[in-house]
């Protein structure tokens, strides 16, 4: 695995679930028509297993029919030096000094099991340690970012289509750090326990995604969020406010006359506050699930 891949594996933003595709009547793909063009919105899993591929033909054909690929952020544009600057302490501060003793021991067990020594992980900022631990647990079961849907289409689009970012990785990381800093111990326990490859959460969401069942997916997704009221601010900032921004960006794309294939985390699409609901409320787009 390349250095860039290792960096990406540890910074993929929250709620990264494994996925596998089965043939079904529906997919986690929506066609959105404006007066001037057609866009496509695909719910993504940023880490997946190899057997997710090949993807259904309708997804591949929608991508091929589009002029541009849009992702949350472009993995190929990542600067590893910048990521390290943002996510690791460069002074005498340490992870151990910023989390409880129990949390530090818990994280140490995960990192050491995966061959990462204390000299390295003790320099991680707490939020980075949390998402790193989640990804390491997933990777141990074969769920890796190199098989993520975003990554797959970025590779296909390279030198063929324009690749646009809805956000930037820097924006995501700074937002993540700002909203969890006061509840870091709870967040670490929540993220590593709830979102690992063996959890019921993963299984339920996986099955809903396979079936293209957005309502079931939204049910499980919302249930998890509501189970942790201490993270209400986190949900608002990291999910719902970003949904509004993403929907606005998509509207801008739909006004250009070109075709866009947009990929965002599946959790951003579903529910009353999801992107599809936000666009439907505008009353000016023809939207259907493919």
Contacts 24+ apart (CB under 8 A), 200-206: 201/17, 202/17, 202/18, 205/17, 205/266, 206/17, 206/18, 206/19, 206/20
Distance from C-alpha of 288 to C-alpha of 256, rounded to nearest angstrom: 20
Query: Whole-model pTM?
Result: 0.84
Q: What are the pLDDT digits (tens) for 262-281? A: 999 999 999 999 999 999 99
Residue 34, pLDDT > 80, answer yes
Residues sharing a CB contact under 8 Å with residue 257, sequence separation 6 or more, in sequence order: 36, 37
Q: What is the pLDDT of residue 50?
A: 82
Residue 13, pLDDT > 70, answer no
The burial of 67, by beta-carbon neighbours within 10 Å (0-12 exposed, 13-18 middle, 19 or more buried), is given as: middle
Confidence of residue 193 (pLDDT cuts 50, 70, 90): low
Confidence of residue 23 (pLDDT cuts 50, 70, 90): very low
Confidence of residue 140 (pLDDT cuts 50, 70, 90): confident
What's CA 259's distance to the chain center, in Å?
Answer: 23
What do you get for the CA distance between the two ends of the chain, in Å?
A: 35
Q: What is the pLDDT of residue 199?
A: 57
> What mean pLDDT do residues 78-103 have?
90
Percentage with pLDDT > 90 across the chain: 51
Tell me, what DSSP letter sits at residue 55?
P
Q: What are the pLDDT digits (tens) for 225-252? A: 777 676 677 788 888 999 999 999 999 9
Confidence of residue 284 (pLDDT cuts 50, 70, 90): very high
Q: What are the pLDDT digits (tens) for 199-210? A: 567 667 877 887
Q: Structurally, how many domains does the chain consist of?
A: 1
What is the extent of the structural domain holding 275?
Answer: 3-289
Q: What is the mean pLDDT of the chain?
A: 84
What's CA 95's distance to the chain center, in Å?
Answer: 24
> What mean pLDDT do residues 174-187 have?
76
Q: What is the pLDDT of residue 19?
A: 36
* Six token digits for residue 222: 């919302």
Q: Provide the 10 A C-beta neighbour count for residue 99.
A: 20
């Amino acid at each position: 695995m390349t250095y860039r891949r290792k960096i990406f594996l540890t910074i993929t933003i929250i709620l990264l679930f494994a996925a596998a595709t089965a043939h079904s009547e529906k997919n986690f793909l929506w066609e959105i028509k404006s007066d001037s063009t057609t866009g496509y919105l695909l719910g993504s899993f940023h880490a997946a297993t190899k057997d997710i591929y090949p993807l259904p033909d309708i997804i591949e054909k929608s991508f091929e029919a589009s002029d541009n690929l849009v992702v949350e952020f472009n993995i190929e544009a990542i600067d590893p030096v910048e990521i390290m600057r943002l996510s690791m302490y460069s002074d005498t501060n340490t992870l151990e000094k910023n989390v409880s003793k129990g949390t530090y021991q818990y994280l140490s067990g995960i990192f050491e099991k995966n061959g990462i020594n204390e000299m390295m992980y003790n320099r991680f900022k707490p939020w980075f340690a949390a998402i790193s631990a989640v990804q390491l647990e997933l990777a141990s079961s074969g769920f890796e970012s190199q098989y993520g849907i975003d990554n797959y289409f970025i590779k296909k689009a390279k030198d063929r289509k324009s690749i646009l970012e809805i956000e930037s990785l820097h924006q995501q990381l700074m937002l993540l750090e700002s909203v969890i800093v006061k509840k870091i111990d709870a967040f670490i326990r929540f993220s590593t326990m709830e979102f690992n490859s063996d959890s019921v959460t993963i299984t339920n969401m996986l099955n809903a995604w396979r079936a293209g069942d957005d309502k079931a997916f939204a049910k499980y997704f919302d249930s998890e969020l509501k189970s942790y009221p201490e993270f209400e601010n986190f949900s608002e900032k990291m999910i719902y406010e970003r949904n509004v921004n993403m929907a606005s960006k998509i509207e801008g794309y739909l006004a250009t006359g070109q075709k866009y294939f947009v990929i965002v985390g599946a959790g951003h699409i579903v529910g009353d506050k999801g992107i599809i609901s936000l666009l439907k409320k505008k009353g000016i787009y023809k939207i259907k699930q493919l």
